Amino acid sequence: MVCFLELDQELTAPRFRAGEEALALLARASRLVGGSRGRVVVQTRIPGHPAIEAARRADPAILRDCEAPLRAELRLPPASALCAISGPSAPPYVTALRERLAADGPAGELLDAGDGRWLLRASDTESLSALLSGLARPPGRLRLEVDPQRL
């Protein structure tokens, strides 16, 4: 038996992948207890949440179909491609990236995420790759996290 006390903390976490992560936890728990041989007990105030329903029916499409319109409207993956840029060498890289975006037109959008982090958003992974691969890498530590799990 696996018990989740207060799964609402995962379901309502301030991350755009909160539902996905909660569903992954429930699926992992189900595999751990052996599917129908064991039990997964969930304490929640949101029993109708799509992630819980998707786990109960073993159908992740339930969560996907619910979240797809919202992600498309907010231009979050998979409706777009994101890259988180950070590290001590990020500022010169971001400056070069801004210059490239200004020259190339609306190929992507650069957002300041604060704390020395930036987000580069493009319409798809090919466009994102083209933007990133065309820039010289500055010396020093630079972190490019394509399709970041957490923002």
CA-wise closest residue to 85 among 115, 124, 106: 115
Pairing of strands 81-86, 109-114: unpaired
Which DSSP helix (H) or strand (E) runs through 94? helix 90-104
CA–CA dist 16, 149 (Å, integer): 9
Per-residue pLDDT, 150: 75
Percent share of the chain, pLDDT over 70: 99
Per residue in 97-116, pLDDT tens? 999 898 876 778 999 998 99
pTM: 0.78
CATH 3.30.1150 fits 81-146, yes or no: no
DSSP assignment letter at 105: -
Q: How big is the chain by its Cα radius of gyration, in Å?
A: 19
Q: Where are the domains of the chain?
A: 2-74, 81-146
| Contact in structure between 81 and 124 (CB atoms under 8 Å) | yes
CA–CA dist 140, 117 (Å, integer): 16
Q: How many residues does the chain have?
A: 151
Pairing of strands 40-42, 2-4: parallel
Per residue in 23-46, pLDDT tens? 999 999 999 998 678 899 999 999
